[in-house]
Structure 1
């Protein structure tokens, strides 16, 4: 049996905890003319995958078929991966077999992924496999925050919520690379060291400090130029 005929994937037949996940042998579908087949080397583990497994996304319109999600059980879970292209459809011109790519979509907890080639991005030779696998969604978001939404300038203060998390730590690093001065906020003292390692100048603990008051103290009453908030409503009012 050729590798191209069978693959393994982590499937769920009902929503719930990790015990609902099953590793199975599956047929590899035929490649569409706009698709590519990727042999997965590393599958990213994201909170989105947990939400997928629990069924949290079913009623969210954004996570529908147009976004590449299929909520009809059973499904193979996973939302992004890194791998090597094994075959491409006849309309695919920016990829070829042997290319290293990152891939966003559904079904990445598997040995192989077939997806629209538009969802696959070639990886520069100087980026290690594991870093490429981990950086797709969070890396793009961090770049968009610090370079597009508000391009932090040299010497400007910024506040970063959830700075110990994957997205927050990348925002810290990118803000520092741009010359910004970073106040990182995290919920627990034990997370503070990770925020400092990511480059924050000052770390505030949200469970123990009044964040607006402390920010005014740190910035001599001027406040920060921008708040990068990857959390949302739980932290919006405090900003």
Structure 2
């Protein structure tokens, strides 16, 4: 029987267990895929720890993956048996050798995009598309601040922003990680634990601040991040790896700052059929055109708990994946 990684209650990585799952036949509009890879993302940690509630009846973690279609139900026209596909979004279940899900969620892969690349890129890539095309449609010459620029999301946002002609200031937690941010294309890299990183960001960005600031660190960092944004720019809060975010007062956004604050969700973005189609089409086109998304750490499916522990502790760079 195929195996998967499941939890029954929120908790530490040790709550994740390898379980056997029955093979399910696809119903109308569904497809069953045999997976080769699953991405590991901070949102998975949020689900495991209980920050995001586990949906009723679901126990297997993971929002993105890739593999080959093994069977299809009635009415399925967008994929056929043997197609290589990738996906991102609800329902949970990508930490599995095999799964059945709605065929409408599946994106067919062209010959020149591997399952390994697509399956490790869908969530972060769709997040980048959401940030750079929906939250703040980025224009050439604008300035972007990317926190955790050595991480999986930070690198792909940096690379995509540079392809759009933007200037990128990345922040990292240690000097050792700076080279990864520079390799991704950042124009400047700062330590976000230094005392002057806010002032230095504003100085580099024309002395006025950035047009878009992307903060996945959370905790007390968001309030500092707001100070890096120029008037009528936007700050996007996309996570809280450092812990809960203290309340933001409206006065922190108003004059003389006059900035916008967004709390976008890539899973909500993926649940909109039109946005999902537009975003995944654009992402696949960028991958075919050379957008790079390096894999920094790879684990066997059975070692998913160790992958979570390493990602949570900041011991990884770039994308983190599970292989089947």
TM-score, normalised to structure 2's length? 0.63
Q: Are residues 1:97 and 2:81 paired?
A: yes
Q: Are residues 1:225 and 2:211 paired?
A: yes
Q: State the shift of 1:48 in Å.
A: 2.3
1:145-160 paired onto structure 2 within 5 Å? 145-160=131-146
Q: State the shift of 1:233 in Å.
A: 5.7
Cα-to-partner distance string for 1:175-224 (whole Å, 9 max, x where unaligned): 11111111112222222111111100101111113233112322342322
Question: Gapped runs of 5+ residues in structure 2?
Answer: 227-324
Match of 1:57 among 52, 61, 64: 52
Match of 1:43 among 38, 42, 60: 38
Alpha-carbon distance between aligned partners in 2 of 1:141 and 1:154, rounded to the nearest angstrom: 19
Question: Gapped runs of 5+ residues in structure 1?
Answer: 1-5, 59-68
Aligned CA distance change for structure 1 residues 149 and 18 (closer, same or farther; 3 Å): closer
Secondary structure at 1:76 match in 2 = coil
Q: Is the 8 A contact 1:161 1:235 kept in 2?
A: no
Identify the residue that residue 61 of structure 1 maps to in structure 2.
none
Aligned CA distance change for structure 1 residues 229 and 50 (closer, same or farther; 3 Å): closer
Alpha-carbon distance between aligned partners in 1 of 2:2 and 2:70, rounded to the nearest angstrom: 13
1:1-239 paired onto structure 2 within 5 Å? 6-58=1-53, 70-72=55-57, 75-104=59-88, 105-232=91-218, 234-238=220-224, 239=226
Q: State the shift of 1:29 in Å.
A: 2.2
Identify the residue that residue 65 of structure 1 maps to in structure 2.
none
Secondary structure at 1:53 match in 2 = helix
Aligned CA distance change for structure 1 residues 79 and 174 (closer, same or farther; 3 Å): same
Q: Is the 8 A contact 1:44 1:134 kept in 2?
A: yes
* Matched positions, count: 223
Q: Aligned-residue CA RMSD in angstroms? A: 2.1
Identify the residue that residue 62 of structure 1 maps to in structure 2.
none
Alpha-carbon distance between aligned partners in 1 of 2:173 and 2:44, rounded to the nearest angstrom: 23
Aligned CA distance change for structure 1 residues 210 and 89 (closer, same or farther; 3 Å): same
Aligned CA distance change for structure 1 residues 78 and 148 (closer, same or farther; 3 Å): closer
Alpha-carbon distance between aligned partners in 2 of 1:51 and 1:138, rounded to the nearest angstrom: 16
Alpha-carbon distance between aligned partners in 2 of 1:157 and 1:11, rounded to the nearest angstrom: 41
Aligned CA distance change for structure 1 residues 13 and 141 (closer, same or farther; 3 Å): closer
TM-score, normalised to structure 1's length? 0.84
Alpha-carbon distance between aligned partners in 1 of 2:220 and 2:117, rounded to the nearest angstrom: 29
